[in-house]
């Protein structure tokens, strides 16, 4: 795999997991 493809995979994973963590942390407060 090329470096660009690997970077895209990492970025997509960070966005997905980041969104999950943010949603989980915000739910109890609201």
d(CA 19, CA 15): 6
pLDDT at res. 13: 98
Confidence of residue 28 (pLDDT cuts 50, 70, 90): confident
Q: Which token pair is 6?
A: 């690997």
Give CA–CA dist 2/29, Å, rounded.
Answer: 42
pTM over 0.75: no
Q: Per-residue pLDDT for 1 more than 90?
A: no
The pLDDT of 6-30, averaged and rounded, is 91
């Amino acid at each position: 795999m090329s470096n660009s493809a690997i970077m895209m995979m990492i970025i997509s994973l960070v966005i997905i997991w980041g969104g999950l963590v943010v949603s989980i942390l915000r739910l109890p407060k609201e």
